[in-house]
Structure 1
Amino acid sequence: MRIDRWRGCAVAVAALLMGGTLPAMAQDAATIAAQGNGKGAAPCQTCHAPDGGGQASGGFPRLAGENAAYLQAQLDAFASGTRDNPVMKLQASALTEAERKALAIYFSKMPAVATPDAGGSTPFADPEHLGETLATRGRWSKQVPACEQCHGPGGVGVGADFPPLAGQSANYLAAQLKAFGSGSRHNDPMGLMRHIAQSLGDRDIDAVAHWFAAQPFPPKESRP
């Protein structure tokens, strides 16, 4: 299922880049998110859902409620290649800098919604509480700080450099840790995430990804 959805997004982007039939449209963020920009960028909602909540089972992240500066930085990184993703590179490269900024602001202002299936349909067995330990205490024997030290209590996010991890897709979180570890993603501040990811094993990565996926986002106290 994850592969099929990924291919669907790739096909949508490729079709537009090869001269799709999108009509001329106003270049505003809401239109681009829903319909694309008519110049090669596919609708964001194809992969990230109309409410910006993402598609957990496919590993497509939530964008709604994220920090605007962080979102713009990621779009810029896709366009420049410091984040290696063939679909998003095509998408970001087809957007102007102004469009990337407008989309970042647009999604940041969308209300964040809880993603009930972020952890996947099959419960992750972690009897030793490995994920919670890494998230809240780290592993100092390998110079790995607690994730919460940068990403905030429960992974709610801190500023433009440390995005929310709470309620994000476990598939997505694990994929990003592996990308940092392999070096295919290298837009982390001071190489911090590359060091951390390279110090974790596959079991560590799966455990901490599922722990954060199970945390509430937005935090209960910020919900209406």
Structure 2
Amino acid sequence: MNNKQGFVVNCALGALFLGVSLSVSADGDPESGQQLSMKGDGSGAPCMACHGPNGEGNAAGAFPYIAGMNEQYLYRQLKAYQTSDRNNAVMSMNIDNFSDQQLQDIAAYYASLDKPTSTAESANSGLIKQGERLVNVGDWDNYIPPCSTCHGPNNRGVDENFPGIAGQHSSYIKQQINAWKSGNRKTDKVQLMEAVAKRLSDEQIEAVSAYLASIPAAE
């Protein structure tokens, strides 16, 4: 087995590991979650202040859309901010007083919403074309698999382990790829994203982010 084949096998095994071992049970109440998203935890801003009234996010602030995302994935990310497995001072401050049940309720609420129709922002057509190839074909000469290998058909997500990234704000995608690249984000056991992100150049990160933002978040 050569190095490239070994890398592909490791990616596949890592994806399998995530799929079978990181499932969590999220049983939230969307109605309660809606109220919590509007009120906050009493010590900070409500969710809608950054993520919008319909969970559509905000490109200028690099706040992701969270509407229509997998409930268990959302719960796990909220919990990660509480435990500092993900580092974001604003997020941690605004959810630090929520109980596990309240986090589940918030996750259930946003999962119940429709994904935004489009988050596309203007970008250079050449950059988008470069990103399209990286996202859908990859760059195997440099051990960069296509995003859809893990994030599924049209990059709309696979269960709670691989979130939908199609139509996500380019500013947020770029921010998170760089967080993986620097090692500041560590929210899975095998760090698949960190391994891939470290192989991406700054230009490739810009291209991938621009292309993903240009495609529909939902069918």
TM score, norm. by length of structure 1: 0.80
Equivalent residue runs for 1:145-224 within 5 Å: 145-219=145-219
**Mapped partners of 1:68, 1:209: distance in 2:** 24
Match of 2:67 in 1: 64
Match of 1:36 in 2: 40
Deviation at 1:58, TM superposition (A): 1.9
**Mapped partners of 2:68, 2:128: distance in 1:** 32
Match of 2:96 in 1: 93
Larger RCO of the pair (alpha carbons < 8 Å, separation 6+): 2
CA contact (8 A) 1:33 1:43 kept: yes
Equivalent residue runs for 1:119-130 within 5 Å: 119-120=120-121, 122-126=122-126, 129-130=129-130
Give CA-to-partner distance per residue, 1:58-116, whole Å, 9 cap, x none: 2111111000000001001111111111111112322111111110011000122213x
The 1:81/1:129 distance shift into structure 2, 3 A limit, reads: same
Structure 2: 5+ residue stretches without partners: 1-30
Match of 1:142 in 2: 142
TM score, norm. by length of structure 2: 0.81
* Paired residue type of 2:38: A
* Paired residue type of 2:60: S
Match of 1:52 in 2: 55
Runs (4+) off by over 3 Å: none
The 1:169/1:189 distance shift into structure 2, 3 A limit, reads: farther
RMSD between superposed Cα atoms in Å: 1.7
* Paired residue type of 1:66: M
The secondary structure found in structure 1 opposite 2:215 is coil
Match of 1:80 in 2: 83
**Mapped partners of 2:45, 2:40: distance in 1:** 4
- Alignment coverage as a number of residue pairs: 189
The 1:151/1:65 distance shift into structure 2, 3 A limit, reads: same
Deviation at 1:128, TM superposition (A): 8.1
The 1:50/1:128 distance shift into structure 2, 3 A limit, reads: closer
**Mapped partners of 2:143, 2:95: distance in 1:** 35
